[in-house]
Structure 1
Amino acid sequence: MDAPATGSLSDPGGERPEAAWRAAPDRFLRTLRARWRTASLASGWRYPSDWGIPEVDTVCAAIVKHGGADGALPALAGLGRARATSGAGLEETLTDLAALHAVLADPAATDGFVAPDVDATPARLLRVTAVAWADVALDQLTRAEVSDPLTGLPTGAYLRTRLAELYRQAERDGERVADDHALVVVTMDFATAAGWTRLTGMILAADALRVAFDGGESLAVLGPSTVAAVATRDGGVATRAVRLRRELTERLEVDAQLHEVGTPRINVVRLPGDHEAACELLDTLSRN
């Protein structure tokens, strides 16, 4: 469970941290993850619900296995790529890395808080993470993916293109997009979920969205915890939103492990007056 962490990473009996990690890997993995999250949020990570992606668990497991961050370089590269894919900026990604380094550098801290400093983070860790982040960011600039490989839904780039078409048509007809269309947004609560539970939750959210909106609406995944549909305002949006909640609730109740997922938020959002503002809205929703 993700919660503010207190307590030491070092062994209470005086053993060196590396030896203690090997002796009780599961306990130290959970402690490391919790303290890292606490430090990252305290240093400015903006959206707590999208911090705990599966790559975080991979990094923690590699650190515990190898006794430090030097043995986790491939995992850190994977984290950098995942952060870029989810929309986290480079500064935020490296500050998160600095939070991890600060936790590892001060294993005996007992108050649960450390002082992350990017400038104090070893260059090799920064380089591996930043290069991996940049590879994905540059690829996104040159080749926008059509669909998300996890959910099978189109990406936010597709939804921006679709909205551009709607705004051009509305301008031609002298109308407003918001008069005929609305954005239905599903935001999953992954604050206490980790690893594969998050992935399963997003797959189920996408499936429920397809079932509830099966009449040609534009569907997309906006972020690591958000999916959405652009639906017509034909008097049935509220009814379909209710069906969406029912479909999603039924899916989340099937597996006991999915009880870690909090209650999803489903909102019908009014589209703004122009395409630029609509894109800004999508950016905001993608990180909520």
Structure 2
Amino acid sequence: MLRRWQTTSYQQGWRFRADWFLPEVRTVVTSFASRSTVPAPTARSLGAARARNGVSISETMTDFRSLFMAAEQSLDIDALQSLAEGWAEVAETAPPISCTDVYTGLATKAHFVRRIHELSAAGPEGSRPHALAVITLPESLESRRHGWTLLARLGETVQCQLSGTGSIAMYRSSAVHVLFPLSESNLERLMKCRTAVETVGEGVLRPSRMMFYPLSSVPSEMMPPSPFPEPL
């Protein structure tokens, strides 16, 4: 069961294979094998462990779904809820240990800015021309920020839409920032990404606004005119 779960999780998009196995994983498998269910405390412990290891909520939930897919059983919604609760309890206080934001699965601000600095240092001859796109979203009406379940779905959508483009994306201040290699096909993918983002959460992220900004190495004629973005 452990091997089938691991293989299915990899197939569903688990990022770093060396980080998958934890002691809590074996506990989950033992409970599942003996009773075909995952008790709430066990699921909660796995969620907490994933958060401590810097795994996003989206990747954590996808991995847990993979367990039931591997066993060819229907997903236990109550266990999934317990997993998410365990993750959320730790995520607010756990120190960041990776370049991935635990809420969205996208890049952290530090990693995103470092990538911009790397491209700037390389100069115009060191890499393909890159540009920055900012998809500004409506702010949450209920609180100062969007809920983590919505952010998880947002991150999943952005990653899916931009897969294979060579882009790196970050969520910050109700906006998705995308650093991408400049090409006609990538611009088309970004347009589709914006459309997909607006469908997340039954339209609560609609309407959005997308602006493009060239990096210093990009000739201005290659980019549509846009005002300069606010500092990250």
Structure whose alpha-carbon radius of gyration is higher = 1
The structure whose residues are more often helix, as a share, is 1
Q: TM-score, normalised by structure 2?
A: 0.46
Q: TM-score, normalised by structure 1?
A: 0.38
